[in-house]
A and B are shown apart, each in its own frame.
Chain A
Amino acid sequence: MSDMTFKRTSGVLSWTGKGRWDAVSGPHGKGKLPIGTYRVSRREITPYSSTIGLGYKDATGKGFFIPIYPQFQTDRGKTDGRLGIHPDGNIPGTNGCIGIRSNAKSFYDAIAASASDSNLTLEVFE
């Protein structure tokens, strides 16, 4: 069973025991990320900082990026830009990443509090 789930239709990112966040994937680029299991690369998380790109910032002007890697056959996130989880900054929507629309800092705090070698997984559903 995965640690996190993301439901594409309802736009809810959930992490058992940690919380739920309003989120979106797409509609830019190739659109919403494909259904399947992803590895959440805890060790590659960026700092929560104002130096990150505009599209990754929340309303406070700070943001973060956590890469996610599909554990199934797809070219998404390989040559056409990485997939990840981040605040949904700038123009609404993402290029396929999961963009958290509100209270993104609490998601960052939750993942930053986990062990850096955690094997976190994310399951994406319709």
Chain B
Amino acid sequence: MKSSACRTVLFFVFVLFTLYACATPQKSAEFTFYDSGNARYSTSTISEDFQRNFGMAFKPGIVLIKTNGRNNIKFQKQEKIFGEFAGGAEERGLIYVIYSDKGGFGDGYHIKPGELPSLVHSKDDFRVYLISKDGEILLNSADPVTVPELKSTFPLRTSLTD
């Protein structure tokens, strides 16, 4: 009887913990990506990685995009928004990192197929994550992020490290 009560309590503790873990938004992002020269970057050592590859100790904000390919309508819309944003990425110290199961994005920052970060929903055809320079997930959207959203999420910067 005593053992059964103990098991019941443990079961409810487990259920409550599981519910809490599912309901709590993920607060930090850790993953590895590559540039068009196949140089490797990790979000946990990003400043050192940019110093090594660019000679600049850069802590960027990250726009991480998952798409099922270049023909995805939402992805194409997002690309157009990046074009309109133009100098905004520089002014706000942003980089755009793209993941696709099929690959094909090696001409910019990309995550290799099969290295899907744990924060990304694997079944989504398109999703955008805005990640602060300190690794905090600030926004998670199933639709393209707009220029006003990019501007309001990432402040103007005066240097690569501020």
- Report the count of interface residues on B (CB-CB < 8 A): 34
Provide the residues of chain B in CB contact with A81, threshold 8 Å. Answer: 82-83, 85-86
A27 near B58 with CB under 8 A, answer: yes
Q: Give which listed residue, B79, B82, B95, contacts A31 with CB less than 8 A.
A: B95
A92:B56 contact, CB within 8 angstroms: yes
Give chain A's interface residue range (CB within 8 Å of chain B).
Answer: 20 to 34
Residues of A within 8 A of B (CB): 8-9, 11, 24, 26-35, 53-55, 74-76, 79-81, 90-96, 126
Stretch at the interface among B15-23, B115-123, B139-147, B152-160: B152-160
- Please give me the residue from chain A that is nearest to B159 by CB atom: A91
- Dominant SS among interface residues on chain A: loop
Contact status A30-B94, CB under 8 Å: no
The listed residue (A24, A28, A34) touching B95 by CB distance below 8 A is A28
Q: Using known A-B contacts A34-B107, A75-B107, A126-B37, determine if residue A29 contacts B83 with beta carbons closer than 8 Å.
A: no
**B55 → chain A closest CB, angstroms:** 8
Choose among A28, A34, A79, A95 the residue that contacts B36 (Cβ–Cβ < 8 A): A34
Contact residues in A for B36 (Cβ distance below 8 Å): 30-35
